[in-house]
Structure 1
Amino acid sequence: MPHLSALNLEAAEPMDVDSPVSADSVSNPLTKRVDSIYMLSLLIAGSHRMAAQEKLSGLKLAPKLNDLFDELVWRKQDHGHAAGHISRCNCSPEVILKIQFLRLVHNYCYHSSHKLTLLSNPEWQEICMLSEQFDPEEFGEGVTKPDYSSLEQSSLCGEGHGLLSKIIGVLRDEPVESVFRFWLCRAIESWLRGSCTPADQLFVIRRGLLQHITKVIVEGENSSENNRGCEDTSDSNGLPREVAQSSFDLLGEIIRFSQAGCIELDSRLDANFKVRCFFSVINSNLVDSNMFLRSVFLSLDHFMASPKTNEFQRATFRSSKFFGPLLDIRRRVAYLASLISTVSVDTLTQENISCLNTVIILLMLAQRRDELPECLEALSDPTYPTFRRSTRDSCSEPDPALVPHSLSATSSFGTQLSITITQVLEGSLQTW
């Protein structure tokens, strides 16, 4: 395992990030540091991931990464690049170091009980107090209340701000077109994934993360063309695809089964204009937003059916500008049809295959709500409206565009998929 002393920045000479990258820089200390972080990241992501996470936690990796983070310069400017490289490429050793750093954080936190070491001592105490506010049943199925007393405090990030809070702070300051946004979001998402508790979600909400992500998505609908890079990877609404995907995935983790998260999201979408913009970005990025939609539908149905939810809370969801429409079976069927139509035999990828998982979950939820026959009947209607965005659709219009769309006209795959899903649901899921 690479020695953690390789992460020490004191031995490195200051790097002039405004100067071009030379061939001699290949052997400089910064490049060696990139290699060390890369090797650690590979070890944690390997088949011995849990053992590597345990070992690195014992070696106080989190405090060392916290110190290293303070030495990195996160600022809104171009870095030095080799001749012939575009301004937004990732060829700068400093850019590579930051991306590999965030990948290491992502792999270190991934489904790991050691993720709390990214907190400082005061933040750890805050999490403990937040945890006491929640009933263990609110932690979700299969998630147990963490034993915070077993955490070795010397593994924490000292006093002040921990590494997680610093990453959130940098994300909030980064422009939409930043090459770091994707991995900043991924690092935080990894911290939330797995054994995530309501206390974890509330912790990041209190640091303005949900508010920031919601703002990025809403404002992305009207972002200007000059926010795009040299290579056009944006969708029709101007929000770069990798930003849309990472933002929606992160937002989905924040609100999943979190009543505080859902309430905060609803409060941020407090105007019809914002709700229309938000839905417009979702509908025009279904592949990238489907994980978020999955979290929304799962959480919404959970809260509406839970005996712990009082009638006032249910009425709040029904009257919500964002959540209310998603209780309507017609809206759900439209999303079912649209999600199915994103996939065909010729276009099947690792990315859009997740849309089929979301479809299965939506149909399982319909089974619970005794709405499955109606959903399947509606899916067989080729004129049923979906939320495909038309050229006239914009935030200034009263509602997202409802454009009739035929599954059978797209490909026979959609029809066959509906038949297969029906057979599965009528068989093994009857007792679900």
Structure 2
Amino acid sequence: MSIVNSLVYKVEAVHVLGLLLLGKHRRRTQKMVSEMKLIPGLSAVFENFVWKVRGNRTGAHDRLAGHNPSCQCSPEVAIKIQVMRVIHSFCDHSEYKHLMLTRSELAEVQRINEKAGLLQIQGLDQVDKNNMCKGKVGLLAKIVEVLKKEPTDSTFCFWFCRVIDSYLRGTTSFCDQVFLLRRGVLQHIVGKLLDGEQKTKEILQSSFDLLAELMKFNIEAFKIAEDVLRTTELRKKFRELTNSYIVDSNMFIRSTILSYFFFCNEQPEYADYSKNVNYMLSYIGDFQHQVNYLHELVSLTTVHNISQVR
């Protein structure tokens, strides 16, 4: 029972930290926990978590009576979810989010940024290296690797997607997008969406939202998607999934439309590719398709799902 009590206490403590990162003083809290080396600490904790439920590895004495290992009420699951909530809140529109990288990973991001052209961001040279993750693999990359190993129906997949999505939110960061593209995030998400398994609305929405942030204004992402959706069958399947769950995919649809016009108007060297070569962009660039999506969204939006449409 003492183990359960200890876990419950830790869940409550991490929950309070998460609330502080969500409150009106969140900027100040982000700064304070950054200076307290929260992120390298969470990176070490994350590495020691056992994410998959593996048989009877977690004994009954570690759980509340009547709860199985994957139950969200179970303390060992709850502590992981609360940790993911904290990471999500920490990096959401945060100037400290690059602390989730190691020094070598930051150097990689800086090299990408130097070639980002219109999408180059400022401030990478101001990241406090003393408060970054240690070793070769940072917290962000660790989350990506665990996400790629988790089954679709995992309790944690939603939160992994939300954290990566949160990391990308804000001003479009081409260098951060490419960093994640190099680690196979796009191929994994699209592959999971098309694997034929039944998915909850939460998983669908978090997956499409992540794709929206990952691909926005990034021609390299659309080239990768073109390679993943290499057959007529796969393209049809992805299109039907997007259209069938339009409330969940609306962020992705809007991101793709904005990207299409960005490539045509701001990066004219990609205009022909967007209009005539890339399936995803050429499909969304069709004016009638845009009108159809608008009509569907307006028709489907009710008081019951309005909270999902952002």
Quote how far apart the aligned CAs of 1:261 are.
1.4
Inter-CA distance 86–349: structure 2 relative to 1 (3 Å threshold): farther
For the pair 1:151 / 2:127, whether they are aligned, the reply is yes
Correspondence for 1:323: 281
Q: Offset of 1:165 from its aligned partner?
A: 0.2
Superposition pairs of residues 230-309 of structure 1, within 5 angstroms: 238-306=198-266, 308-309=267-268
Percent identity, aligned pairs only, is: 34
In the TM superposition, what are the counterparts of 1:6-405 in structure 2 within 5 Å? 24-28=2-6, 30-77=7-54, 82-85=64-67, 88-135=70-117, 137-139=118-120, 145-219=121-195, 222-223=196-197, 238-306=198-266, 308-310=267-269, 313-317=270-274, 318-344=276-302, 347=304, 349-352=306-309, 354=310
Deviation at 1:87, TM superposition (A): 6.6
Q: Distance in 2 between matches of 1:276 and 1:188?
A: 27
RMSD: 1.8
- The offset of 1:33, in angstroms, is 2.1
Whether the 8 Å CA contact 1:256–1:298 is kept in 2: the answer is yes
Matched AA of 2:119: E
Unaligned segments of structure 2, at least 5 residues: none
What amino acid is aligned across from residue 156 of structure 1 in structure 2?
A: M
Deviation at 1:250, TM superposition (A): 0.4
- Contact 1:115–1:191 (CA under 8 A) maintained in structure 2: yes
Q: Which runs of 4+ in 1 moved over 6 A?
A: none
SS at match of 1:322: helix
Distance 1:57 1:188 in 2: 18
Aligned-partner Cα distance in 2 for 1:348–1:76: 32
Count of paired positions? 304
Asked whether the equivalents of residues 272 and 321 of structure 1 are also in contact (C-alpha less than 8 Å), the reply is no
For structure 1, the 5+ residue unaligned runs are 1-21, 140-144, 224-237, 355-432
The structure with higher relative contact order (CA 8 Å, sep 6+) is 2
Contact between 2:68 and 2:74, CA under 8 Å: does it hold in 1?
no
Deviation at 1:305, TM superposition (A): 1.6
State which structure, 1 or 2, has the greater radius of gyration over its C-alpha atoms: 1
User: What TM-score, normalized to structure 2?
Assistant: 0.92
Query: Aligned AA for 1:165?
Result: A
Q: Which moved more, 1:80-89 or 1:198-207?
A: 80-89
Task: State the TM-score, normalizing by the size of structure 1.
Answer: 0.67
The whole-number CA distance in structure 2 between the counterparts of 1:347 and 1:99 is 26
Give the direction of change, closer, same or farther, for the CA distance of 1:129–1:58 in structure 2 (3 Å limit): same
Structure 1 residue matching 2:296: 3-state secondary structure: helix
Q: Which amino acid aligns with 2:212?
A: G
